[in-house]
Structure formats: structure tokens, C-alpha cells
Structure 1
Amino acid sequence: MFTARLADQFLLFVVPLVVYQTTQSVSLSGLAYAVETLPRVLFYPVCGVLADRYAPLRLMQVSQIGRALICVLGLIGFSLFGGLGWVVGISALCGLLTTQGFMAREVMLPQIFAHARFEKTQSISQSVNQTSIVAGPLLAASLFAISDWQTVVVIAAILFVCAEISMMIWRRANRTPIVATDDRNASWIIPFKTAFSHLVYLPGLKRVIALTASVNLIFGVTLATSAAMVTGLYAQSEEHYALLQTVGAVFTIVVLMMAGASRLSIGMIGLVSFSGVLIGGIVTAISPDYWLYMVGFAIVLGFDGMFNIYIRTVRQKIIPAKDYGKTTGVIILFNNLTQPLAGVLVGLTASVAQTGGLILVLCIVTALGGLLLSLPRLFARTTG
């Protein structure tokens, strides 16, 4: 997981930076972010069905080897034809297989750690993920400073191969049964009907989806504008951009470790993390300089990671195990549609100076939405 996520961070790091540096346009940078993330989001329901139907380990292999091949073929295409679209295309196509790997891992984790507290399992998983985010920007920025984006993509391809080798070694040492949860269903229609039925009728699921979508909107705008804000509005270097990502990831690890070690109820984890994302978004929106912006950025990333613990734990408790992949895939589609939407909203801004106002408006809308979604629960507790 660490090695594959490290490679993925290389690609996520290089796309917005290369687009902004080449075009000097925050609008094109935002649209590139939308193009990069939209395929990942749209493919979640299909990947969810596949994760239930086929062996998760085999899907992980396809994900990792496939991404390495896409990097190689994309670089060959760039060398033959040129053009900025190749780096965006590589990241977008790799994003499809990243989604498949993510869904396979979501089905695997409850099977591997069946007897562990799921909040703790998710905390450790998120910590590993954020550790890769610490190392990714540092290494990618170092490579980018002495070479070009093609070198970054080559190293990403090598890391994807290393991820596959690491998983093969792990599997030799760990023989825990990992099976498909719904391999008897050959239909493509029934799984989606089941997933949408759970979405409508399982209690509490619609509220959690709405909260997550609103948090992802702030998170998406923050990521889509970070390169332009640092290198454009605050006139800092690529190294400062890497530092921003690293500080955010380190703070996230600290928050996740505290959440995993704490005895907070899952509801309190949700409340604290939701509030933290809002506060961080407001700080990034009003920050007059790079350093205060870094504080807000770190708070958004840190508490977004904590919110992921909340959302995944709640999903695991609500959704039946045999339908977990297909239902989670559809849920993540709705949750994450706000991220490419964030890129489109950034693309509509006239200049980088206007992004602070956009983030502030989104924070206010999210706060009001969270309050409205929580009122029925608060009222029920009061009357109960």
C-alpha cells in the first residue's frame, strides 16, 4: 500500500504543478485537476462490483502492474507526439486503476483484520497512506528540481512494480483467507440495484453521504488550488509547495495517531473532524501569506484524514458484508463527485486571487449544510 500510494502521489504532485507552470493559468490548472480526478470518481461503482465478485488480491495485481504499463506507454506517446495532455492522461488513466486497487483493499481489510477494532485498523491504514504523502512530494520535488516530469513518471512506474513485488512477499508470509464476497452473482444489473436500494433504505446512510460530499468539496478545492496559491499568489518555489504537502501530511499522521489511540466515540470523531475541516478551510481562505496558508492547509488535510476514519467505520457498521464493495463503490461515487466539481469551480475563477473567496463561500455552505443535516438527530435526542 505504501509503495503504490507513493507512486500515486508522484503523479498527483506533478500534474497541477506542470500545468500551472506551463500555462500560468489557474483556470487550466483547476480544469486539469477535474480531468485527472473525474475518471477515478466515475469508475467507483464498477470497481465496487468487481471487488465483490473477483479475488481482491488479483485485482490489486491488475491495478499495480496496469499503472506501471500506463506510465511507460504514456511516456512513449509523449516522446513520439509531444504535448501537455500526456501527463494529465497518464494520471487520469492510472487513477482508474488506483480506484480498483482502493476498492479491493477496502474489501480485504475487514477480512485480514477481522478481530481488530475497525477504527484502529482504519487509523493505521490512513497513517500508512499519509506517510506516503510525506515522502511523495519531497522525492517528486527533488526529482523535478534536477530533471523533468518524465523522470518523475518513470520513477512512479518503478514504484508500482515494487508495490507488486512487496505484495507477493507479504502474501507468502500471510496466508489469511481472502475471498470474493459475492462471486455467485453474474448479473451486472442486480448488484447496482442492491447498492442503490441500500443507499435509499439503510438508516443513516444518506446523511453520511451528504456530509462526506460537503467535506470533499472543501478538500477538493484546497487541493486544486494549492499549486497556484503557493507558486502564484504567494510567489513561492516548488520546494515550498513540496514543504506545504509534507507539513500537511505530517500533521495528518499526528491527528490519525491521536484518533486511533483515543477512546472517542465514532460520533465524536465525526464531529471533531468535520469542524476541523471547516476551520482549516476558513484559514486558507483568509490567509494573507504563505505560512498562515500552510497552517490552514495542514488542518484541512489532517482532519479530512480523521473524517475518513469516521465515514469508513460508519459504512462498515451499516452495510452488509456481502454487499460492501458494490455499495461502497456507489457511495464513493456520490461522495467524490464534489472533487472534480471543485476543479470546475476553480476553472471558472478569473484569477488566483479569487480562490480565497471561493473557498470561504464553500466553507459557509458546508457549515450550513452540516447544521441542517444534524438538526434531526439533535432534535430526536432532545425529545427522546
Structure 2
Amino acid sequence: MGKAQSWLQVTNNGASVLGPALAATLLIWLPATQLIWGCALGFALSATGVLGLTRGAAPAASPLAGNRALLPELRVGLGALLAQPILLRLVGLAMLVNLIVGLALATAAPMTLGLFGQSDQTLASVQLTMGLISIGAFLLMPWLLRRVAVYWIGQLAFLLILAGGLIMATAPSFGWYLLGCGLSYGLCGLFNVFIRTERLHWIAEQQRGRVISLMVLLNQLSLPLAGLIIALLGDRVAVQEIFLMASLVCALGYLLLYRTLADAAHTRTLPEPTQPVASSRR
């Protein structure tokens, strides 16, 4: 599963390399506003892929399988999620990561163009650097998986993402900011591999669709929250101070969640108890 999730993330992050590289090239001839049309075309083309998702899939188990009611399905998923507190802690950990990543995405332009006075092409290079770091990290993934568990890869990724947030909060120059931004966003994929692999161990197979979809929804809530924070505080509080406060919140949250997550991972990896062997005496 770890390897499969790694390949999915390579595909995802590969686009984050090619997209900014193409944008930086097109900015030489086109104004930035016209690139929006290219983005719209890309989204439209990718949306057509949905049409082929059911091709070759197994037929539904029953005629009603494709017409399930929304609210009952949500209740079932929520009940299964609440029944496993470890899943809620995984959601909390993912929300902390997405808070840092969301702030990085929301402030890339003002930090690059405003605070550090760089050009539009340099802004595109920020996204390119994020993607290159993520691809480099995934090239190491097979080597890492042979030596350490996915759990420890996830913990290392979280700490490096947090370190990236602290670097952005204290960066004295654009180079330091670029390093922090690359760490926070570039290693987010490794953390995703951990989350997506770990949660499968705690969800019954027949409930995975309901529970995982709900977990993804909750995980993503901190992305718009990051944008809202910038919208409300960006003109009154320095962006780097916002990064510092968010990084401290994430560090505190990690300290509160770490022990439970570590205990759960240890319990899950314990060997099964052996059955007592019957005596040969009569």
C-alpha cells in the first residue's frame, strides 16, 4: 500500500512540477491573466477522465447500490469514524499539516512579490521548487520503505513540514523562504502516504468509502481556514508572524497527539499471540 500511494503522489506532484515550469515559460510571452484560460482548459480535460472511472469495474452488488441516500451514508461514516478515536487523531494531524501548507499557498504571492520583491517568473519558480523537492523525496521512498516503517516516514515528514513553517516565519531572505516553502509543501506528499496507509488499518473494508471520504473532507477544512486567516489578519499582522503562530499551534498539537499515535502504531505492529500447545501427556 505504501508503494501504491507513493506512485499516486508522484503522479500528483509531477503535475506540480510541470505546471509551474510551463507557466514560467508562457509568462515570457503572455500576461498572467491569460494563463487562467489555460488552467480552465486543463481542468476541463482532466474532468473528462471521470467518464472512464467505471470502465472495467465490477457490476454493482444490487440495483440500489448506486442510489444510496446521502444522509444515512454520512451517519454510517461518522459513526465508524467516532468509533475509532485513532482516526480522529489522524484527522487532527492532517489538519495541522494542511494549515501550514494552506498558509504557504495563500501567501506565496505576497511573500515573493511583496516582502522579498521578486518577479512573476520567480513566483512560478517557487511552485517549481516545491514540486522538485516532492519528486526528489518520492525517489527516496523505495529506499526508505526498505529500511523504516511508513509510520516513521510520516512522523519525519510532519516534523520537516513544521520546520519549514518555522523557517518561513523567520526567513531573513528569499532563499531561506524558498527553502521553508519547499520543505512544507514538498514533503506534504510523504505525509499523505503515511496518512492514507495508516488509516486503512483502522477502517473495516466495507466502510472505507464512507469513512475515508469523510476524513478527506475534514482534512481539507484547514485549507480554506488558512485563506480566511490571511484574509482577516493579513493587513494587520505580518505574514511571518502568522506563520510563527501557526507553527507553534502545530507543534503543540503534535505534542498532544504523538503519544497516542505512537501507542496505536505499536499496538498494531505487535505479533499475534500464539495459541498454547496442547500437552502430549495423557
Q: Is the structural similarity TM-score above 0.5? A: yes
* 1:191 corresponds to: 73
Alignment partner of 1:361 is 2:245: yes
* 1:58 corresponds to: none
Pair member with larger Rg: 2
How far did 1:187 drift?
1.9
* 1:344 corresponds to: 228
Counterpart Cα distance in 2 of 1:145 and 1:349: 34
Q: Say which of 231, 255, 259 aligns to 1:375.
A: 259
* 2:186 corresponds to: 302
8 Å Cα contact 1:213-1:335 kept in structure 2: yes
Percent sequence identity over matched residues? 30
How far did 1:316 drift?
2.5
Quick check: which one's helix share is greater? 1
8 Å Cα contact 1:123-1:257 kept in structure 2: no
How far did 1:157 drift?
3.9
Matches within 5 A, 1:52-71: none
State the TM-score, normalizing by the size of structure 2.
0.83
Q: Which amino acid aligns with 2:107?
A: T
How far did 1:142 drift?
3.0
Q: 1:179 to 1:147 in 2, by over 3 A?
A: farther
Stretches (4+) displaced over 6 A: 164-168, 379-382
8 Å Cα contact 2:86-2:261 kept in structure 1: no
8 Å Cα contact 2:17-2:131 kept in structure 1: yes
8 Å Cα contact 2:81-2:87 kept in structure 1: yes
Give unpaired runs (5+ residues) of structure 1.
1-117
Aligned length: 263
Q: Say which of 18, 30, 45 aligns to 1:135.
A: 18
CA RMSD between the two structures: 2.9
* 1:208 corresponds to: 90
* 1:281 corresponds to: 165
Q: Which amino acid aligns with 2:134?
A: T
Counterpart Cα distance in 2 of 1:219 and 1:378: 24
Counterpart Cα distance in 2 of 1:179 and 1:251: 41
| Per-residue deviation, residues 87-117 of structure 1 (Å, max 9, x unmatched) | xxxxxxxxxxxxxxxxxxxxxxxxxxxxxxx
Q: Which amino acid aligns with 1:328?
A: I
SS of alignment partner, residue 138 of structure 2? helix
How far did 1:322 drift?
3.3
8 Å Cα contact 1:277-1:304 kept in structure 2: yes
Q: 1:302 to 1:179 in 2, by over 3 A?
A: farther
* 1:177 corresponds to: 57
Matches within 5 A, 1:80-119: 118-119=1-2
* 1:153 corresponds to: 36
SS of alignment partner, residue 348 of structure 1? helix
